[in-house]
Amino acid sequence: MLKLPQMTFSELMKGRRSRRWFDKNTPIPDSILESILETASRSPSFMNSQPWRVLVAGMQTMQRVVESLEAHQNNGTTTMPYAWPASWPAPQQANVDETRRLRAPHREEPVDLFSKWAYDAPVTVFLCLENSLNEWSIMDLGAFAMAFMLAAEEKGVHSVPQAKLVNNTKYLQQILDLPQNIVPVLGISLGYSIPEKVSNTFVSPRMPLQEFVEYRP
């Protein structure tokens, strides 16, 4: 089994980035996936409520998901998750625009529907919340998501979080066989990335500290 180098937290955090092309023929061993989930489950949450619910979808299920996503897009009936604001404030819009500009030369055309939506990931993890919870629980779910992706990176498993995978919530709930009170909030594509793909070499920029940190004596 491949022995991975030990990394400090800073190295792990700085080394993780969103990868968008995976080797669909290399599955993630169940023991590795369970270890990643176990680590992420140690995330903090308000009153130890642990509001996260996780659904792990293989490629067979995801084929149905991507077909539904494509159909809604083609029909003009896509409903967006609340991750998408009506408009970005100026600093965030600048970040979005600059990232799109820098990433443009690294984009690669999908070869089929599955690579278009799921980047050929062998596993997709859907993070869900009970719909009676208030907005505070989204912070707890965010902590779980970050811990999950860093735990995966430590194991040599790459990831990309995707808001677009939770479009059309009610249809997605049906495909995933989720009860109506359990809402998918985020999809994370997961697998072993293909290093030769130019899109996997892109590292998105970050704002300097002085642009988002203020100090008070």
Q: What domains, with CATH codes, occur in the chain?
A: 16-79+108-192 (3.40.109.10)
Tell me how many degrees the CA angle 174-73-23 measures, rounded to the nearest 5: 75
**210 vs 96: CA distance, rounded Å:** 19
Amino acid at 168: N
Q: Cα 130 to chain center, whole Å?
A: 19
User: What burial letters (b/e) apply to 38-56, b meaning 16+ CB within 10 Å?
Assistant: ebbeebebeeeeebbbebe
Whether residue 149 contacts residue 16, with contact meaning beta carbons closer than 8 Å, is answered with yes
pTM of the model: 0.93
Whether residue 182 contacts residue 53, with contact meaning beta carbons closer than 8 Å, is answered with yes
From first to last of its 217 residues, the chain has per-residue pLDDT tens of 456 667 888 888 888 889 989 999 999 999 999 999 999 999 999 999 999 999 999 999 999 999 999 999 999 999 988 778 888 999 999 999 999 999 999 988 888 999 999 999 999 999 999 999 998 999 999 999 999 999 999 999 999 999 999 999 999 999 999 999 999 999 999 999 999 998 899 999 999 999 999 999 9
Task: State both tokens at 170.
Answer: 């009610």
The label of the residue with tokens 């070499």 reads 201
CB atoms within 10 A of CB 204: 11
